[in-house]
C-alpha cells in the first residue's frame, strides 16, 4: 500500500473541533485543547514516518484572542509548555520547528521560548514543522506588503518591479514550498484566514473527525484521498 501512496510534500492542517469533542464527553473545552496538543505530536510522528517533509498547523489565529480570557490563557499556557517540551522531542525526531504569525503580539515569555526552540532546531532536516501562532493570512499579507512598501519608500525598489515571487518571499513561509494538501477537521468547510496566498493550488480534504481523534490512520486516509486527485496548476496538468 505504501508504494501506491502519493506523498504530499507539504501538508497544512486546520485543527478544529477540540471544544465540540470535549463537550460530547461532558468535559470542559480546555480538556479538548489538551487532547488536541497530544494529537499534534502523534500526527507529527505519523507525517514524518510517511515521508511528508513539511507540516504546518493552525494553532492560534489572530481572531482567537476574542475567545473568553480563561480559554485564551489556557491555550497560551499549553502552547508555551509545548514549545519547551519540544526542545527535547525535536532533537529525538530531527524536527526543525518554526513559528509563523505575528510574534510581536505574543508575550515576551512566549517569544523567548519560540526563539530558543527555533534556534535549537534550525539545522535539523527531518520534518519541517510550522506552528501558526497569532497567525492570520490577511495580516501576513499586510505585513509582507508593508515591508515591500518600505523598500519602495526608501527608493530601493520600484512598485512595478514587484513580482509574485517577491511577495511570496516576504511572507512568514519564505523558503517553504506551498502546501500540496490542506486538511480541516470536524466538518467545517472554510479556510478561516489560513495561508491565503499559499493555498492557491492546494488540494483540500475535509473530514468529520474532530481534531482530538485525528490520528496517524486519519492522516493516511487524507493522503489516500489526495493520491486519487488529478492535480491541476492552472491549465497545466501535473506530470
Ligand atoms: C479549534 O478547536 C482549535 C483551536 C482553536 C486551537 C488549536 C490548538 C491545539 C490543537 C492545541 C495546541 C497546539 C499545539 C501546536 C501544541 P475549537 O476550540 O475551535 O473547537 P470547536 O470548534 O469545537 O469549538
Residue spans per domain, the chain: 10-136+178-237
pLDDT for the residue 132: 98
Average pLDDT over every residue of 118-137: 97
Q: Is the CB of 89 under 6 A from ligand 1?
A: no
The fold for domain 10-136+178-237 equals Undecaprenyl pyrophosphate synthetase (3.40.1180)
For the chain, give the mean pLDDT.
95
Q: How far is the CA of 73 from the centre of ligand 1 (A)?
A: 13
pLDDT for the residue 1: 46
**Is residue 16 annotated as part of the catalytic site, yes or no?**
yes
Cα(235)–Cα(230) distance, rounded to whole angstroms?
Answer: 12
Average pLDDT over every residue of 218-234: 91
Residue nearest to ligand 1 atom 14, measured at CA: 37
Q: Is the CB of 59 under 6 A from ligand 1?
A: yes
Average pLDDT over every residue of 10-20: 98
pLDDT for the residue 3: 59
Q: Is the CB of 100 under 6 A from ligand 1?
A: no
Q: How far is the CA of 29 from the centre of ligand 1 (A)?
A: 9
Q: How far is the CA of 5 from the centre of ligand 1 (A)?
A: 29
Q: Is the CB of 37 under 6 A from ligand 1?
A: yes
Region of poorest pLDDT, from 1-5, 73-77, 150-154, 213-217: 1-5
Q: Is the CB of 15 under 6 A from ligand 1?
A: yes
Whether the pLDDT of residue 55 is over 90: the answer is yes
Q: Is the CB of 139 under 6 A from ligand 1?
A: no
The active-site residue out of 64, 102, 178, 193 is 64
> In a mutational test of the pocket of ligand 1, which residue from 12, 17, 18, 132 has the highest number of ligand atoms less than 8 Å from its CB?
18
Residue nearest to ligand 1 atom 6, measured at CA: 59
Q: Is the CB of 20 under 6 A from ligand 1?
A: yes
Band of the pLDDT at 236, cuts 50, 70, 90?
low
Whether the pLDDT of residue 232 is over 50: the answer is yes
Amino acid at each position: 500500500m505504501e508504494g501506491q501512496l502519493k506523498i504530499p510534500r507539504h501538508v497544512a492542517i486546520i485543527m478544529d473541533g477540540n471544544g465540540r469533542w470535549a463537550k460530547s464527553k461532558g468535559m470542559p473545552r480546555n480538556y479538548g485543547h489538551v487532547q488536541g496538543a497530544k494529537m499534534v505530536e502523534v500526527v507529527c510522528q505519523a507525517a514524518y514516518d510517511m515521508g511528508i517533509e513539511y507540516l504546518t498547523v493552525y494553532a492560534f489565529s489572530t481572531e482567537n484572542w476574542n475567545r473568553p480570557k480563561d480559554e485564551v490563557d489556557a491555550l497560551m499556557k499549553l502552547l508555551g509548555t509545548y514549545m519547551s517540551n519540544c526542545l527535547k522531542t525535536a532533537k529525538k525526531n530531527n524536527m526543525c520547528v518554526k513559528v509563523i504569525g505575528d510574534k510581536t503580539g505574543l508575550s515576551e515569555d512566549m517569544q523567548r521560548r519560540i526563539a530558543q526552540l527555533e534556534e535549537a532546531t534550525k539545522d535539523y532536516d527531518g520534518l519541517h514543522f510550522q506552528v501558526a501562532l497569532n497567525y492570520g493570512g490577511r495580516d501576513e499579507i499586510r505585513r509582507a506588503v508593508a515591508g515591500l512598501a518600505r523598500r519602495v519608500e526608501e527608493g530601493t525598489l520600484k512598485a512595478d518591479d514587484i513580482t509574485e515571487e517577491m511577495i511570496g518571499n516576504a511572507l512568514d513561509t519564505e523558503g517553504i514550498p506551498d502546501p500540496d494538501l490542506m486538511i480541516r477537521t470536524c466538518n467545517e468547510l472554510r479556510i478561516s484566514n489560513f495561508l491565503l496566498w499559499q493555498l492557491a493550488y492546494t488540494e483540500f480534504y475535509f473530514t468529520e473527525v474532530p481534531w482530538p481523534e485525528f490520528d496517524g490512520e486519519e492522516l493516511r486516509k487524507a493522503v489516500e484521498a489526495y493520491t486519487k486527485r488529478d492535480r491541476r496548476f492552472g491549465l497545466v496538468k501535473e506530470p
